[in-house]
Structure formats: C-alpha cells, structure tokens
Structure 1
C-alpha cells in the first residue's frame, strides 16, 4: 500500500500543495523514492527538541527526591540515555515499515486493536505538547514583566497566539519543513543555552553542592523513573514517525545510535549542570516547581533576558511541533479520514484552546493536568514494552498491506497484547502515587498496592505517603519490563507465524 489513488484533478491539487512545501503524506507507506534520509539525519529533530534551558529545571525535581549530587548525576545520565535508547529501538520499526509509529503498532495489537493504545498515545501527545505551549506562554509573560514591558493579560494573549501559530504552521507543513526547521533551531537554541551556562556558572557553589546528603535506593529509583518518563519515554510513542523516511538499507545500529545521541546528549549535560545550580541555591531549588523558566531567568542580567526568552520559547515550540505533528498521524491511525495537514491543524486547535483555558481561565488546573498525563504514562510504558519485544522478535520487514487490512496476517485484534497492556497497567497504577494529591484528589486511588506489599503507608492526616519506595513510582518500570517479558514469551509463536516462519 504505497499510495492512495487520486483523480487527475486531485493529483494536480496535491502537487500544488507539495510545491508550497507541505507534506501531503499521511499514514500510508512512504514510497521507496522518498526514502532518502540517513541515520545521522535523526540527530537534528531529537537534539533540537531537547536542547533547552528548560532541561536545566529538571534538576530541581531530581534533587527533590532527597538524593546527593553524585546520586543525582548517576540517575540523570542513566535515565536519559536508557530512555532515548528505547526510543531508538522503536525507531527501527519506522525503517522496517515506512509508516507512523501507531500504524506499525498494529502488527502487535491488531489493525483494530491498535486503537486501544492509539487513544492513549493521542491523549498523551496532545497533553504534553499543550503543556509545553503553556510553559512558553507563561515564560514570555514572566520575562516581559521583569523587563518592565508588562506581563499581564495582553502579553499572555499575544504570546499564546504566536506560540500556537508557530506550532500549528510547522506541524501542518510536515516532515521536510520540520526537519529543516529543527536543524536551524538546534544552532540558535544551542548557542543561547551555552550563553546561559557561561552567564550563570559563577552561581555554582561546589561546597553546598557536595554537602547534599545521600538518599535511599527508593529515592534514587523514583528520580530515575521521573527522568526516564520526562525525557525518552515521553517521546517513545512517536519515535518511528521520524525514521520512516530512512533508506531500507540503513544500519539499524546507526538509527538507534543517532536517535539516542541526538535525544540524550543535551538533556544529560543540561540536567547535570542544573543539579549544580539548584544544589547551590535554595531559592532556585524551591522556585523551579512553580515557574521553571522565570526562576532560571532570575540568575541573569537584564540584557541577556531577551535572547534567553527567545531560546526558551523556541525550544519549547520545537518540542511541541514534534508532538503535534505525530499526534496528527495518530489521529489518522484511529480512523479519522482527513488529510494529514488537516489532522495536524485539528490537534493544533485543541492545543490552542487548551493553552488559553489553562493560562486565562483555570491556572489551578495545571497540577491536575499534569497528574492526568502522568497517569497515562503507565499504560504508555506497557505499550512500549510490548512494542520493543515485538520488534525484537521480528526477523523481516513489516507486511505493509497487512498493516491496513484487518483480514491480513496481523488480524483485527491481538488479545494477548491487549490483555498484557490492561493487566500491566492495572498493576502499574497500584505502584505509582499521585504527586499532586491536594490539587488532584480524584486521582488519589493510585498506589493501592503499596500498603499490601509493604512498600509504603498513607498518612491520611498529612496527606502524603511514607516509606522507602512510596515515591519510587515502580509501576512505570513494572509496566515496561513485565509487558516486554510477557510479550517476548507469549507472542514468539504468533510473530513467527505472521512472518511465515512457523
């Protein structure tokens, strides 16, 4: 299934759209003639989306688990590298099948069954990219206020419109425009991020940093899970979208390597630098939770604030563009029959409405919003485990026509995968806790396995959990690893039959 037949009139219209630089390809298989990308091309979109001063702010959340600087560096490097390496494995599916991630997921879940993880993926992508747009809008208002230019409603309206406009325009234009845009943004945001480091390095107090007390293994585990979900696992459901233009003879190891390098190198370095900053200054450590960009900006002289704002907003926009582009593809994989640019535009409108609502109507909604998104991280981790195992079991490229035919070799439903995802998610939710218990009390049902397993105790009076592993969020790791192992064993024969090897 390499293309969808069109009339001469439709073909002329599509050609005209393509001449304007807009990608018209939706979820259909990429034609061999268009598969010209090289593994090293994957470096640019992943690096541009993750080289952000916002990454520095993650350090405060890592140290919030009560661990030492050395422990924090270890979990940061491991969490970032491992999570983006898992994205690299998912990216292999793009080369093997030349289709978006959620279409390739049909081989594991069935052509119809894929809609179960597809809905979760779509909600997660829309949610996180809306969150990035919100941060960009609030960052603009914060820095304008410090510059004395006004940071009120008018500034926020303009900022929200500009941010949403940039995200929607790029995501509608599609793959080729985004790839060119990301290669430019890499240099712009990278240079200003380096400037930020140079301008703030004098704030590092190594005496204070090295005196931070060590934490428990449970605290380190919780920090590791947070880093993994905040970085690589947050992108894993779209990883193959950017490798589907790879040449069929591209090296699989190179695809994994460039994907991992592009995604991991910037956040690993930036979070480690942030650990030094946050560990040196209690005000930075406590302020980042409420206003990440604004708190980091307090360390800068006034003349640097404008380039800092540009870098922060562009980096957040860059990440949002990748997400909205892919969420549009996921929307199409769910059966919505509209052109790809229109799907991206629909998701862009949702992003815009969500940004305006949170910024102007319900600012207190931000914590419940994050709680909801974190909850979706458990089934998404289960999907990742199933997908990675499925990729490991396969020896041949995907049957491209069968990915679109419920009567084909992949079938309509794969009940083994669906049951694995449901069970792993239910168990996983029992081992994670709601980090925003006060603002999202409706989500406090999570963690129901902690007390029975002796991993934590709920303090009803104080409204928090006690215990070494209470905030380790083991449920994410459980969902990922359990789903991988079950799939590796239970679906080995199924995959062999699909490929005609049994």
Structure 2
C-alpha cells in the first residue's frame, strides 16, 4: 500500500473498491447490518406512502396485511441477495458475474448504475424542495436563495459521506438512526390527534385484485427498490457469520420502520381526505400542514436527514457499480463522480427544468422491470450454489464463470419484455414517449387504455404487476436452466478458501 493510501485510510476513508475484502478487514457481524438499513428507511415519507396504498380502494385491515407482507417479503429478498456479499467478499455486482459472466454482467450492471444514481438524485431533489416548502411555511423564505443553500448542503452531505466510504457511513447511519427515529416518534405523537378511528374503520373493502395490486406496489416501493445494492453492506461480514442472521438482520433493519410508519400513515390518511389528497401532490407539504409551528423545524430535520441517509447508500453503491463496469479509478473518485452527477441533476431539475421530474420518474420505473428480472436470476444463483464463490474467477473471463452467460442474459431480456407489457406509464401526460408499456394488459383482460385521456382503468393497471412477474419468472427460469451449469462449476475445483485475499481488479 502506498504512503498516500495509508494516509487516506488513517483519515477513515475507505480505499477498497470492488476487489476482494482482506480477511483482516472482515470483522462485521450480522447485527451491524441493522444500522444502514434502518437509517435509510426510517423516513416520514413512509407515512405519505399510505395514501398510495389506500388509493387502490382497499380497507384499513386489507392495507395493514398488504403493508406487513409487502415490506417484510421485499426486504427479505434483499437479505437473500446480501448473502452474495459474504460469499463473494465483494459488492453486489461482482458476485453477479457468476450468473451472467464476467463481461456479461455489464448488461445488468449498466441498468443498476442508472437506477441507483437516478433514484438518489430524486431523493436529493426531494430534500431540496422539502427544505423550501417548510421554510416557506415558517415565513423564512422558500424561494431561489433557500433552494440554492439547501441544494449545496444536501449535496455536500451526500457526496462527502459516500466518498468517505463504508466505515464512516456505518457510523453516520447509526447516528442518523437515533436522530430521525426520535423526531419521527415525536411526529407520530403530535399528529395522532388527527386520527379518527370511526372513519378509518369505515373504509370499504376492495377486491382481491385490488389488494394484490397494492401488495405489488408496496414491494416495488420498498425492498425491491434497494435490491441491486443489498450485498454492498455484507461484504465485510466474517466468513463464519450465519447466513440466516444476515438475512434476518437485513430484513428487520429495513422493514421495521416502514411497517410502523405506513400503518400510522394509513390511520392518518384514512381519517382525513384532505391529508390523503394533499400527499399525492406534495408529501412534505401535506404532512407539514397538520403540524404546529414549533415542530416544523424538527420535522424538516427528520425529513432531510432520512432522505440524505438513503441517498448516501445509493451513491456509495452506484460508485461501486461504476467500478464493476470497468472504470479504472479509485473508489472515492468513483463516488465523487456519481456525486457530481447527482448534484448537477438536482440543480437542473430544481432550477432549470419545468417538466422533468415526471419523465425522470417514468424512466426510472421502466428500469425497475429488468432490475427485478436480474434479482430473480441472482436469487436463483445464490440458492443453487452450495458454497462461496471462486473469488479469482470473478475477475477472470477465462475462469469457470466465463465471459458471457447467454442463458442468463436471454432470460433477462425475455422476462423484461413480458414485464414491460404488464406495467403502465404513471406519468402519461408528461412522458408520452413511454406510453408503449402495458401492451399485455388489454389482451389478458387486466386493464383498458383510454387514448383520449392517456390513462388506464382496471384493478391491475397501476399495480406494477410486471415487476413481480419479471422477478418470479426469471427466478423459475434460472433455477431450472442453470442447475447443471452451476453443478459443473462447483465440481470444477474447490471454492474460495478461508485465507483468500485476492485483490485483482477488473
């Protein structure tokens, strides 16, 4: 290690990129996974999400079942992906090379990179606009100057933390957990006076199609949104760490806060139509409207820090994904590059673009289908393998995993095409170029398109059903088609040993 690298490490900055983690650094325990996942998901925006669940026309108790099952199952899937980090001693997209080939992995890798940096830019945009909204309500401005200051502060926090890397982020997330957690609990106490159980309990029940539609939406909005980075935080786990505990702590850390917050949001939105309708247009503003003035500043702090927490995890991981695509720069530099892109994107949307947010979200939702397909293939690969990955071969196109796995890539393409046929463009007016989606809904009797209003009707139309279908179909296909290949790979030689310290980059 060079003197400059040693100095960087002394300052607490992580220099490790996509190479195999040295045994001396693999000191994390499963319970350590609680902090990053909890901090990134203890967000007041979870309360706002309840309005979208009730929008499917289901009762409170149906919604509770949907939230508990959807959130827990989706984060459990993240936990399964997290096993790849421990087994491969590398971030998510490196063990994924075993399924797609060392070079072939770049296909889903590009999708993952675009999705990560896109969603984290969106979080930073929301943090900037949230600041302006609350400042306006306080009478402290809220105009251009406020947005500029907010943009600088939020972007600086996200970029600096993601550049610093794993160890500092883990400490940061533990602090954010307590700060945002306490403020969020106080928010719930203050807002509880707006709950009217008689109105909540009177919400009519919906059909089973509406219930399943809401379930799919919850899964895609929570755990599945993190699934492409799930192993980035488990690669520092000890080799003897329990796989079951890794899955359990990942699931518990990610799911506990959203379950509580969304259920509270169901009580709140179900009690007040004004709040429910306001959330659809302005989540921060609608929640701030019911608060006393004295609590607006703490509310702003909780909202911003929770968004920053999520953005930090995303930008850190997008930097690792960028390295896995073959960009040969140090990890801190990769995180800085993505941080600069995030900052420029935020500036453009907040200060320049007039109709960019909706098309931007539409594009990111479209990427969610192939990402779900990748997840199904990856989970099947993890389930079929009996031991750790052959770490050297993850960086060698002539190794046992090869350069390209056309079966996996073909499965990704086919299931994505099917999935796109079962999702619709939620922003049809602003992103009309994306209205080609949903082409299987009408033939299958799942929805009807009205060309005049550019909208869909039917219980399944806005359920994002294609995301779940792509996930399940790709898992089944990969589990059946890849069994023989994986058995031959594992028979080709012993997997990585406990003293492996490979540092090859690719």
TM-score bracket, shorter-length normalisation:
over 0.9
Deviation per CA, 1:33-90, whole angstroms, max 9, x where unpaired?
0000000000000000001111111001111111111111111111100000000000
- CA displacement at 1:466 relative to structure 2: 2.2
- 1:413 aligns with 404
Structure 1 residue 501, shift from structure 2 partner: 6.6
Return the offset for 1:471: 2.4
* TM-score after normalising by structure 2: 0.96
Residue matched to 2:453? 462
SS of the equivalent of 1:289 reads helix
**Equivalent in 164, 169, 173 of residue 178 of structure 1:** 169
Q: Residue 269 of structure 2 aligns with which residue?
A: 278
Counterpart of 1:392 in structure 2 is: 383
Cα distance in 2, alignment partners of residues 352 and 291 from structure 1:
22
* Contact persistence 2:213–2:459 (CA under 8 A): no
Structure 1 residue corresponding to 2:112, chosen from 101, 114, 121: 121
For residues 356 and 244 of structure 2, the distance between their equivalents in structure 1, rounded to whole angstroms, comes to 42
2:224 to 233, 240, 253: 233
TM-score, structure 1 normalization: 0.97
Q: Within the alignment, does 1:492 sit opposite 2:483 as a pair?
A: yes
Corresponding residue number in structure 1 for 2:498? none
Partner residue of 1:438? 429
Deviating 4+ runs (over 4 angstroms): none
What is the Cα-based RMSD across aligned positions, in Å? 1.0
CA–CA distance in structure 1, aligned partners of residues 127 and 170 of structure 2: 21
List per-residue Cα deviations over 1:139-192 (Å, max 9, x = no partner): 000000111100000000000010000000000000000000000110000000
Q: Residue 104 of structure 1 aligns to a residue in which SS?
A: coil
- 1:89 — aligned with what? 80
Partner of 1:295: 286
Instruction: Using the TM superposition, give the Cα deviation of residue 405 of structure 1 relative to its aligned residue in structure 2, in angstroms.
Output: 0.5
Q: Which residue of 2 aligns with 1:25?
A: 16
SS of match in other structure, 2:491: coil
Q: Within 2, Cα distance between the matches of 1:315 and 1:135?
A: 11
Offset, 1:218: 2.2
Q: How far apart are the structure 2 equivalents of 1:45 and 1:466?
A: 39
Q: Contact (CA 8 Å) 2:60, 2:200: kept in 1 or not?
A: yes
Matched, 1:327 2:301: no
Query: Is the CA contact (8 Å cut-off) linking 1:219 and 1:471 kept in structure 2?
Result: no
Listed as ranges, the matches of 1:2-41 within 5 Å are 11-41=2-32
- Greater mean alpha carbon deviation, residues 432-441 or residues 262-271: 432-441
Query: Match for residue 70 of structure 1?
Result: 61
Question: 2:151 pairs with 152, 160, 175, which one?
Answer: 160
CA distance in 1, matches of 2:214, 2:21: 39
Cα distance in 2, alignment partners of residues 464 and 211 from structure 1: 29
What CA distance in whole angstroms lies between the structure 1 residues aligned with 2:40 and 2:461? Answer: 32
Q: Report the alpha carbon displacement of residue 221 of structure 1 after superposing the two structures with TM.
A: 2.0
**In structure 2, C-alpha distance between the alignment counterparts of 1:439 and 1:61, rounded to whole Å:** 20
Candidates 93, 101, 122, aligned match of 2:92: 101
- Bigger mean CA deviation after superposition, 343-352 or 492-501: 492-501
- Separation in structure 1 between the aligned mates of residue 247 and residue 279 of structure 2, nearest angstrom: 33
2:449 aligned counterpart, secondary structure: strand
* Corresponding residue to 1:249 among 240, 244, 249: 240
Please say if residues 17 and 323 of structure 2, whose CA atoms lie closer than 8 Å, have aligned partners that are also in contact.
Answer: yes
- Which sections of structure 2, spanning at least 5 residues, go unmatched? 494-506
Q: Separation in 2 of the partners of 1:94 and 1:68?
A: 40
Pairs aligned (count): 493
User: Retained in 1: the 8 A contact 2:400–2:492?
Assistant: no
Secondary structure in 2 matching 1:128:
helix
Q: Is the 8 A contact 2:76 2:247 kept in 1?
A: yes
CA positional deviation for 1:462: 3.1
Deviation at 1:20, TM superposition (A): 1.0
